[in-house]
Each structure stands twice: as structure tokens, then as C-alpha cells.
Amino acid sequence: MTELDDFRSVYEVSGVYDRLLLPHYYHGREDIDLISDLMQQHHGEPAADLEIVEFGCGTGRVTSSLDPHARKLVVADYSDTMIEAATARFPRAETICADTRDAVTRLHADGRAGHFNVVGAFWSLSYPLGEFFETMTPTGIRPTADQHGSRSAAVEFVHDLLGLLASDGHMLALFFDADTPEQRLVTRQWERIAPFPEGGRRYTRDLLLDALREAEDLGHGTLTHIRYGGTALARDRDAAQKWFEAVHLKNHPLLVRDRQVRAEVAEFIAHHEQPDGQIAIPSGVHVIDFHTVVHPSCHLPMQAQR
């Protein structure tokens, strides 16, 4: 396999993603647990009575927190490899092998607007949102010519996501914190190729939150947004190095061939090495929850609604 073939292989070669993915802990809880907690908070103990769709499902890690609640489960991912893995874990699930934007369009075309109690996208929404603004290839990054039009189209896409929700449904998302030391390092490395749109790598999260606040202002529901600090834990330096190169840098030839990039990653890893040899990388997650309600007054206590 050449370096060009290896580009984004973490999503294309069977077993690579699960092997390289580091466990992330927030207040002693894994990211999967955060979603399990929200599902129980919103829907109680699993009763297999909900219609749920998850975009960017990957191998089905977080899907395991959704499946016990699902009467009907739909999972979507652009990668055949990921869909095969998810199908093996959840054979009763309906699968869509398409990127998130196309999958959303397909569900609307199939008349499934307003059908889902839960719409989920975990660690994955930055990709479809970012693709409105730029295209990444092994040879570089091409920005779209009309950045203002790109933002408008991206906001419309978020509204289409919300349009899949039934009344009293929840759109749940996990987003990386672009302001942690790890993510700032990755941002500097990617900006060797091209600057990020709208002034920084957090732009996709900010765009999503702006679009959800707009929906809230229009009376379509209420937004809850919480940030948790935590740690990504690699068993040793080699595991941490592969995490950066394959997952963060996507094995992009212009980055993984760069000696300075490799030196900066090695220095970062060494700085966070623990006495037992594990690498404890400071991490952060933004938990985003949009609840579709007829009117925000439904959150008032009964005496205040008189």
C-alpha cells in the first residue's frame, strides 16, 4: 500500500479504526456512557420502542448505547468497511452506505421527515459540515469559492437533520473540543496545508450551535450544550503516535512525511507520558442535545403555565 492509498485508511481497512481508537474518559466515564446516560435520562430504561437514526456510525461503538432503546434502528456511514462492521454487530438495523448529507437527503426523499425519536451523530458531524467549505484530498485542500453560500447551505443541512425528528425527539451529538492542547497541535499541523474556514478549527461546532440556536429562536425546540474535560489514554508511545498519524492526520502524505510534524507529535507525546508508560492526553468533549418541543413553555412548572 502506498502512502496515497493509505490516506484515510483508518476508515477503509477492516479492523484499523477499532485497533487505533483510544478510550476517552470524562469524569471517569467513557464517551459511550455519556450517551447511555442521556438516553436513560430522556427515555428511561430501554424498552425497544423508539425509532433511531445514527449518522457516521463507524463500527457501531456508540450505537451500542442506542440499540437497546430502538424498535427501528437506522445507521449510516460512507464507508463500506464501517457499514459491514456495524451490520455484524446490529444485524437487524437498516443500513445506508452514504455520507451524512446524502443519507439525510435520502431519508427525506423516502418520506421519513418527523419519524425519528432520536437523531445521533457522534464525533462525526464536523466532516459533513466541513465539506460544505472545502474538499480534502491526498494532494491538498481545495476551499469552495463561495464561503458565504457554503455557510447558508450548511445551516440548511442542520435544519434538515432536525426535520427528521418527531415531536419530543432529541438530536444528540458529540464534538471534539478544538481548544485542548491536543487539538491545537493538530490544528497547527493541518494549517500547514491550508487555513481553516471562518478563522479556526472549531468552526464546524460553532456553526452547528449557531444553527441550533436559530432553530430554538424560531420555537422549534430547546438546546442544551455541555462541555466536559477528560483524558484520552494510549497504552504507550507507539499507540499514541499511530493515533495522531492515522486518526488525526488521516495518514495525509503532506503531513506524515513532514519531519517537523513528526517531531512535534513526538514531543507532545513525551510530555504527556506517565510513570507507567501510558500516555494521558488532555481531551474535551462538547455534548449537544436539541429537544424538539412545541414551545419552550413546556419546560415551565405547571403553576407557571397558568
| Most trustworthy range by pLDDT among 6-20, 130-144, 189-203, 210-224 | 210-224
CATH class for domain 30-229+284-294? alpha beta
Asked if 38 and 46 count as a contact pair (C-beta separation under 8 A), the reply is no
Under 8 Å CB-to-CB from 43, ≥6 apart: which residues?
A: 50, 69, 117
**Residue pLDDT, tens place only, 46-83:** 999 999 999 999 999 999 999 999 999 999 999 999 99
Return the domain boundaries, the chain: 30-229+284-294
**Residue pLDDT, tens place only, 96-126:** 999 999 999 999 999 999 999 999 999 999 9
Asked if 120 and 35 count as a contact pair (C-beta separation under 8 A), the reply is yes
**Residue pLDDT, tens place only, 214-267:** 999 999 999 999 999 999 999 999 999 999 999 999 889 999 999 999 999 999
pLDDT at 4 over 50: no
Nearest to 59 by CA among 36, 34, 84: 84
Percent share of the chain, pLDDT over 90: 79
Predicted local confidence at residue 138, as pLDDT:
77
Cα 21 to Cα 5, 9, 276: the distances in Å are: 20, 13, 20
11 falls in which pLDDT band (50, 70, 90)? low
Rounded Cα distance, 227 and 216, in Å: 19
- Give the single-character DSSP code of 246: I
Give the predicted TM-score (pTM) of the model: 0.91
